[in-house]
Structure 1
Amino acid sequence: MTDYGFWSLVPPLLAIGLAIKTKQVVFSLSLGIFVGYLIIQGGNFFEGFLATITAFVDVFQSLGNTRTIILTLIIGALIQLIKFSGGINGFINWVQKRLSGKKNFKGKIQATSALTGFLIFVESNISILTVGTIFRPLFDKHKIPREKLAYLADSSSAPSCVLFPLNAWGAYVMGLLVAFPNVDPFTTLIYSIPFNFYAILTLAFVFWLSLSGKEFGEMKKIAEQLPEEETKETDLTAGKTSSPLNMIVPIAAMVLTMPLFLIYGGWDPSVTGGLTDKIWHSISNGSGSEAVLNACFTGFLTAAFMYAFQKMLTIKTFIDQSFKGMSDMLVMAILMVLAFAIGNLCNELGTGIYVSRVTSSWLIPEVAPALIFIISSFIAFATGTSWGTFAIMISIGVPLSFAVDANLYLVIAAVLGGGVFGDHCSPISDTTLIASVASGCDHIDHVRTQLPYALFTGGLAVICYLITGFIV
């Protein structure tokens, strides 16, 4: 692979800077991708232009990318069906009845949204889309900033996903660890969980902010500027209410079947050992994106059959509402294509490898976990992908931990936590984009308001790794 050195940083940093400056994310990502392929093509504008178009098409060569984009459309259709059934309004009324009249009503609404994101730990995009879409009317009604909803959805999803191994995230990380014959993937992942300080601190901070009512930085400014009148949403479900089960059951079907599809997809009857050994082998070998997509279709079909049984849906309304929900996700799907494309570009340029190479010489055993966390954070910030960061840094971190005699579980936790932290801070991250779109707030406003909170918990995580590095 050609070594582009410092030039490998230019496209992602250009995209990030332009996005913050212009607030035009599609334009910024597209220009960053074009500049990247211009670098690869040696400055030839025509070849760079053709390579950029090819890059957008190549996104769909990855089954995982294609499944994720289709997943976004299916989630849109599912959420629209739930809206049409009145299930969202029913759930909102159910929440309000149980929280109304109680002390700190707004805080409990925020904590409930964060808890919902925490419990849907099967996949971060599903978690963010569900929380953002379902709780947006409730936040609007009670004058809680949508930016706060975007933060709660974003910061309760990936941290919970990375702490629970029974999902696509766990399968992916264990798949990366399989490459090292002297490392037990499951044991290593489980033992690293208590050291994933960023994920743990972020979840604790999310619930503390929700219940305490404290705000600081840009979030506080936006909360103070919120207009007195309620923000109204116009959609087909206005005034339509049904049982909250019309929302809870389809989502529960989606969440509960995902681990089953993951086990089914990776099941190998020839594996020796007990049932537990076979299950964990299946999880590490299963396709996370395939399991999540199958689970989404399960939730989607569950909703369709439920509402048809209640005589709420005909074939025509089912098709019309499904396509309406998919069309609502079109912008998000485009943003995901761009996010995947710039991720592929950074991989081709070797952005993450360059960053890790120029910084790895600093590492000494005691401070290795803290520095690995920082390096992983910067790679995720620059590339917009936590999973890509995991792939780069686990391949470096595992042999490095043996070479300098650093604690392997600390190192793995630092890679995972750093990847999530950098992803939270990055304007070009797909999850950051999804959180802003699902919550209905300006994307850059979401980045600006989330950044101080992420930096606070990220800074605490660095301190924890510095202390733990000298103790463990």
Structure 2
Amino acid sequence: MFGAIFLGVFIINDFSIVTTFSGVATLFITLLSKGWILKTLGFAILVGSIMEILERSGAIASFVKYMTEKRSIVNSPRSALMISYIIGVVIFIESSITSLIAGAVGKPLCDREKVSRAKLAYVCDSTSAPISSLILFNGWGALLLGLIMTQVESGIIAGDSVSLLIHAVVFNFYSISALIVTFVVIWFGLYTKRMEASQVYKPSTAHISTSGASVWNMLLPILFLVFSVFGFLYLTGDGNILKGSGSSSIFYTTISTMVFMLLLYVVLQKMSFKHYLRASYIGGKKLFPIAMVLLFAFGIGEVTSDLKTGIYLASFASENISISLLAAVIFVLSGIIAFSTGTSWGTFSIMIPIAVPMAVALDGDVALVIGAVISGGVFGDHCSPISDTTIISSLASGCDVVEHVNTQLPYALLSALIALVFFILFSL
């Protein structure tokens, strides 16, 4: 990843070695001076602390015992993954929090049922962004609505922007197909050889006691996480959840959860303050490399933005396109841009101002084209190894990023193929 950043800066600086070294240093200084990036990196590290505290407090072990022995809710690999799938669908407020909670709940259950972390990472990733882009009572909806309103106010398209966004969501074929494919894969156990060969982790119970433990020791921090996100989105949005800052909200949520767990476990004597601090340190240390991967991913995103990669790719689609293939081409192009830049939101910002005028000029269905942009952005982001949602899904499930990308790619491509067929059919 560093090599890619260096090469990009090398091109930007007209192949000057001296200027390139200076440019790379300036790039990382700039990145680390941005509040939202620091908060995202802090979130990644604090997630590790939360996971470690949950494990060392005995909360995870007691939760697994409750789900598998007392209630027998989870008694098979399918049911272990289905719990995470349901959580991913129900919690749609923020894709990072969706992945975090689905991974936190699913990881011990999957370990108990000998389900590989790669399968869990696939489920976390395939429900987070797709569901967030379908149920738009979140930051995704605010961004897309703002981009569409810009097109309406500039006179490029006529009509109500909210109505247009609702119609566009109906054509978000990739997200719909990804959710359906994931459900079918879980229910029928349709795994590729590579997915089946992925490593199964043995649950660790060293130095963990469940005596006097309650299932609520696991559920209360999770519930606190969920409701805190809503609260901080409300606060950072000055009373409007849709305008709240996602990076600030998840950062403040993880800090608040750490304090809540301190009160829950230490004050109630589930663990000593010394063990709490040690667990926080060890957990954060484990996920520090993931935070660095995120930082490099943000760096690549900045470089590709400076190189105008998205606009350059989009220029290919601006000439000689048949109306019957417009939505399909927009979908593929958006997917390529999102894959190469690692951001679906950046892809939306690039492609909607390009795709909407093209649809108007060709007398095409504007809602269908916007749906193609959303689908392509989610698809490319889903497959990209430098995407924050890909990295966070790997982080939450405890799976290696490269293994996660390699094992989920066939399913993402299948969902994309289904979406592509629907875009061509609806265009015709």
Confirm or deny: 8 A CA contact 1:217 1:452 kept in the other structure. no
Q: 1:294 to 1:362 in 2, by over 3 A?
A: farther
Query: Aligned to 2:127, which of 131, 151, 156?
Result: 156
Aligned residue type for 1:465: F
Give 1:356 deviation, angstroms.
0.7
Separation in structure 2 between the aligned mates of residue 263 and residue 400 of structure 1, nearest angstrom = 36
Separation in structure 1 between the aligned mates of residue 130 and residue 207 of structure 2, nearest angstrom = 32
Unaligned runs of 5+ in 2: none
1:78 aligns with 2:50: yes
Hey, what does 1:329 align to over in structure 2? 287
Q: Which moved more, 1:258-267 or 1:153-162?
A: 258-267
Aligned residue type for 1:290: S
Q: 1:405 to 1:294 in 2, by over 3 A?
A: farther
Matches within 5 A, 1:127-206: 127-180=98-151, 181=153, 184-206=160-182
Q: 1:125 to 1:410 in 2, by over 3 A?
A: same
> How many residue pairs align between the two structures?
422
CA RMSD of aligned residues (A): 2.5
Confirm or deny: 8 A CA contact 1:165 1:190 kept in the other structure. no
Query: Aligned to 2:189, which of 202, 206, 213?
Result: 213
Give 1:383 deviation, angstroms.
1.3
Aligned residue type for 1:82: L
Q: Which moved more, 1:422-431 or 1:195-204?
A: 422-431
Aligned residue type for 2:127: S
Separation in structure 2 between the aligned mates of residue 362 and residue 298 of structure 1, nearest angstrom = 54
Q: TM-score, normalised by structure 1?
A: 0.82
Separation in structure 2 between the aligned mates of residue 252 and residue 179 of structure 1, nearest angstrom = 37
Hey, what does 2:243 align to over in structure 1? 285
Give 1:112 deviation, angstroms.
1.2
Matches within 5 A, 1:5-404: 29-97=1-69, 100=72, 105-180=76-151, 181=153, 184-216=160-192, 218-220=194-196, 222=197, 231-234=201-204, 238-240=208-210, 242-267=213-238, 282-404=240-362
Q: 1:299 to 1:174 in 2, by over 3 A?
A: farther
Q: 1:292 to 1:178 in 2, by over 3 A?
A: farther
Separation in structure 2 between the aligned mates of residue 183 and residue 309 of structure 1, nearest angstrom = 57
Confirm or deny: 8 A CA contact 2:317 2:330 kept in the other structure. no
Q: Which moved more, 1:175-184 or 1:287-296?
A: 175-184
Hey, what does 1:273 align to over in structure 2? none
Instruction: Give CA-to-partner distance per residue, 1:192-219, whole Å, 9 cap, x none.
Output: 2222111111111111111111223532
Hey, what does 1:424 align to over in structure 2? 382
Aligned residue type for 2:386: I
Hey, what does 1:408 align to over in structure 2? 366
Unaligned runs of 5+ in 1: 1-28, 269-281
Give 1:58 deviation, angstroms.
1.6
Separation in structure 1 between the aligned mates of residue 159 and residue 351 of structure 2, nearest angstrom = 15
Confirm or deny: 8 A CA contact 1:159 1:420 kept in the other structure. yes
Secondary structure in 2 matching 1:179: helix
Separation in structure 2 between the aligned mates of residue 462 and residue 128 of structure 1, nearest angstrom = 26
Secondary structure in 2 matching 1:43: coil
Separation in structure 2 between the aligned mates of residue 391 and residue 232 of structure 1, nearest angstrom = 43
Give 1:309 deviation, angstroms.
4.2
Confirm or deny: 8 A CA contact 2:139 2:243 kept in the other structure. no
Separation in structure 2 between the aligned mates of residue 236 and residue 177 of structure 1, nearest angstrom = 53
Q: 1:397 to 1:262 in 2, by over 3 A?
A: farther
